[in-house]
Structure 1
Amino acid sequence: MTITAPEARTADLASTGVSIEIRDVVKRYKSTTAVDNVSLTVQPGEFLTLLGSSGSGKSTLLNIVAGFIEADAGTIEVGGRDLTKVPPYRRDLGMVFQHYALFPHMSVWDNVAFPLRRRKCSRAEVTARVQRALDVVELGHLAKRRPNQLSGGQQQRVALARAIVFQPQALLMDEPLGALDKRLREQLQLEIKRLHRELGTTFVFVTHDQEEALAMSDRIAVLRDGGVVQVGTPVELYERPSTRYTAEFLGESNIFTGRCDGPVFVDDASGASFAVAERTAGTALVVRPEHVRLTDSRTLPPEQHNAVDGVVSEVVYLGSGLRVEVTLPDGRTLITRTEARGDLAPTPGLAVTAHWHPEHTLVVEDDVTD
């Protein structure tokens, strides 16, 4: 048996990624603005994720790029070509949906071959390209089966093969893993990352799952109410969110609202002062749970650390660590993540001091209305 190297399998499918320019795009439905004057650049060969909650406009924006929805204003350029008025079937873009959209009466082979036959490719070219695409997603041995004979993950891999088989300029994916269970979703995340790396094609991926976005993306665009809140790498958005909304949407955060007064942040609720590493204007202080440490209330924390006293109210075992909730004197909850076998064994009712270094204290704009 001959084993084909991944590089060889994808050589004829690989394409040079193209840029996507979204300029001043607006989409309204009666009194609702689904996409609100969005401008966004996707770099050639980049994996960009549109991340947001339901109703944020991420899927609408993706479908405008694909051509399935017509924008009320703005332009879409792919590879320098204006596609704003070009119908979907002439945009040369691959599309993968959440619910697979496979033809149930066709075999896996025929599903993947469909885009090539619509383009009137020769029989020899169809055979060669379909085989290569199925090899890339590791489903060549199931080519004769029909969709109802496959698992959910296998069906989604067929959908991926069908989307790449005609060598699209870019691949658009609208929550393609949303219907899968957690373990299978994580497996396909790795496969999609591998596919992106091997093909070099520009990927635009839509999800509401923050962990999925952080794990897969080169950059993430966070959307809210039809607009872009912040764009950056996963590390930038997690470590340096510009607003409270981004901080809370991407991972858990401890939030204190108040004001900066020189090198300290003053908490409105308690009047406590917290040292900040950078003097930044803003009305919300963000501390990630993994940066918070706990000590017995009788033990003084390091002198330079910010500190608050409280009582442990909840402890959740996560295998690799503990998620601990600490109730502060004013009733607010502070969250920590700590090692399961640390020096302190937190239990509900234990009086503790939660503390963190000023370099982990980030001041941002409070754009969330409680």
Structure 2
Amino acid sequence: MIRMEHLDIVLPGFCVRDVNLDVADGEFFALIGPTGSGKSLVLESVAGLVPQARGRITVAGRDVTALPPERRGVGIVYQDNALFPHLSVMENITYGLRYHRLAGDEAARRVEWLVDVLGLSRIRERGVCNLSGGEQQRVSLARALAVNPPVLLLDEPLSALDPNFREEIRALLKTLHAELGTTFFMVTHDFAEALFLAERVGVLRDGALEQVGPVRDVFCRPRTPFVAEFVGMKNVFEAHFAPGEAVFHGLRCPLPHPVADGCGHVALRPEDLVLSRDGGIPDHYVRYEGNVRTVCDLGFVYEVAVRCGSADFRALMDRRSLMESDIRSGDAVSVGFSAGAVHAF
């Protein structure tokens, strides 16, 4: 449905370099990466709002590289909604219909369905300036989808919302995608959003794609240290691979799968680590001895940093587990994990 070939975008002090990407018809695809990585530039290039220095973009098999935004057949939703403040909810939703060739009955049915499924019936005649953030985002979604675009572009659609509204809109996006079968292309810096919504993801770093694949594959099998850390594998170590094991920071670790001898990295998710003050680590686990360096309150969980040899491990513990184990800074502890949790690359 969307194809980008050798896409370059050049701005003063920054460029997107040689992006090649295919998004399938009806797919929910997320382009993820840290703030400033170029995600929104790629999305706006697809929309025709940012010119590319090189490359080709096709939408639904049609070359749109040189077409203006209104002729590309895409809808777009921004994080700040970009609604027309002088128009009512319904006037915003139906605004784009004057520029698209939809039969009157078909357009009316589609608008009414969107108003119903997005819960906008009771506020349809209100001005948009007095709506909550979640209501404004629902109006923005209805406006973008009213013209029946083959592609919906979503630019950080949840980042400006408070947690309650974020959950609400996230669920609505899931429902809309399932009901409509429209191709969704979202950019976000939040991997949790992509994990919940997307089927595949691309990871962008400093304007270049680092990895593209099914979301669970990228989550569990990152290909680079940057991707590993971005998706939450906070324990990433340079390692030397020998038959059946990895050696890092003087520690030896069995590998769950054969890896070619040489140098690379091993990574572990912090939630896969078990800490114990009394040696209570399962016998079949890999086990190291160390000392707690810090215990950091992250809100719902605690991050515990443990030094084993010259390696610094980070583990996550919920409040109850931390209180029951009574682990504190300076304590001698055992660090354990299943060999199957080790990712080597």
Q: Same fold (TM over 0.5)?
A: yes
Query: In the TM superposition, what is the alpha-carbon distance from 1:355 to its structure 2 partner?
Result: 0.9
Query: In the TM superposition, what is the alpha-carbon distance from 1:161 to its structure 2 partner?
Result: 0.1
RMSD of Structure 2 on Structure 1 (CA): 2.2
Does the aligned pair in 2 maintain the 1:93–1:171 contact within 8 Å?
Answer: yes
Query: In the TM superposition, what is the alpha-carbon distance from 1:117 to its structure 2 partner?
Result: 2.0
Match of 1:192, SS state, is helix
Match of 1:275 in 2: 254
Match of 2:112 in 1: 131
Match of 2:78 in 1: 97
Moved more, 100-109 or 307-316: 307-316
Does the aligned pair in 1 maintain the 2:246–2:254 contact within 8 Å?
Answer: yes
Match of 1:59, SS state, is helix
Match of 2:305 in 1: 326
1:48-88: CA deviation from partner (whole Å, max 9, x where unpaired): 00101122111111111111112111111111111111111
Asked whether 1:183 is paired with 2:164, we answer yes
1:281-314: CA deviation from partner (whole Å, max 9, x where unpaired): 5522101112111222x52644443222223331
Match of 2:4 in 1: 22
Map 1:257-268 to 2 at 5 A: 257-267=238-248
Match of 2:326 in 1: 346
Query: In the TM superposition, what is the alpha-carbon distance from 1:42 to its structure 2 partner?
Result: 0.4
Match of 2:119, SS state, is coil
Change (3 A) 1:109 1:263: same
Asked whether 1:256 is paired with 2:237, we answer yes
Match of 1:45, SS state, is coil
Match of 1:201 in 2: 182
Change (3 A) 1:341 1:179: closer
Change (3 A) 1:65 1:289: same
Match of 1:148, SS state, is helix
- For residues 218 and 336 of structure 2, what CA distance do their matches in structure 1 show? 23
Q: Which amino acid aligns with 1:32?
A: F
Match of 1:307 in 2: 287
Asked whether 1:357 is paired with 2:327, we answer no
Does the aligned pair in 2 maintain the 1:310–1:326 contact within 8 Å?
Answer: no
Change (3 A) 1:145 1:363: same
Moved more, 35-44 or 305-314: 305-314
TM, length-normalised to structure 2 = 0.91
Query: In the TM superposition, what is the alpha-carbon distance from 1:99 to its structure 2 partner?
Result: 1.1
Change (3 A) 1:293 1:85: same
Extract unaligned runs of 5+ from structure 2.
none
Change (3 A) 1:263 1:104: same
Match of 1:226 in 2: 207
- For residues 318 and 346 of structure 1, what CA distance do their matches in structure 2 show? 18
Match of 1:294 in 2: 275
Query: In the TM superposition, what is the alpha-carbon distance from 1:118 to its structure 2 partner?
Result: 3.0
Q: 2:14 aligns with which of 32, 41, 52?
A: 32
Does the aligned pair in 2 maintain the 1:315–1:346 contact within 8 Å?
Answer: no
Moved more, 201-210 or 24-33: 24-33
Match of 1:308, SS state, is strand
Query: In the TM superposition, what is the alpha-carbon distance from 1:330 to its structure 2 partner?
Result: 5.1
Change (3 A) 1:302 1:121: closer
Match of 1:283, SS state, is strand
Extract unaligned runs of 5+ from structure 1.
1-18, 365-370
Q: Which amino acid aligns with 2:201?
A: I
Query: In the TM superposition, what is the alpha-carbon distance from 1:120 to its structure 2 partner?
Result: 6.7
1:114-165: CA deviation from partner (whole Å, max 9, x where unpaired): 0012337676555444322211211022110011121010000000000000
- For residues 241 and 256 of structure 1, what CA distance do their matches in structure 2 show? 13
Does the aligned pair in 1 maintain the 2:251–2:309 contact within 8 Å?
Answer: no
Query: In the TM superposition, what is the alpha-carbon distance from 1:210 to its structure 2 partner?
Result: 1.4
Match of 1:241, SS state, is coil
Does the aligned pair in 1 maintain the 2:233–2:267 contact within 8 Å?
Answer: no
- For residues 263 and 286 of structure 1, what CA distance do their matches in structure 2 show? 16
Match of 2:35 in 1: 54
Does the aligned pair in 1 maintain the 2:304–2:317 contact within 8 Å?
Answer: no
Does the aligned pair in 2 maintain the 1:325–1:333 contact within 8 Å?
Answer: no
Does the aligned pair in 2 maintain the 1:117–1:126 contact within 8 Å?
Answer: no
Match of 2:145 in 1: 164
Asked whether 1:211 is paired with 2:192, we answer yes
Change (3 A) 1:25 1:358: same
1:146-200: CA deviation from partner (whole Å, max 9, x where unpaired): 1112101000000000000010011001111111112211221111111111111
Q: 1:107 aligns with which of 75, 78, 88?
A: 88
| Alignment: residue pair count | 340
Q: Percent identity?
A: 36
- For residues 123 and 315 of structure 1, what CA distance do their matches in structure 2 show? 59
Asked whether 1:335 is paired with 2:317, we answer no
1:321-365: CA deviation from partner (whole Å, max 9, x where unpaired): x4341331557542223455559613214321001121111112x
- For residues 122 and 146 of structure 2, what CA distance do their matches in structure 1 show? 17
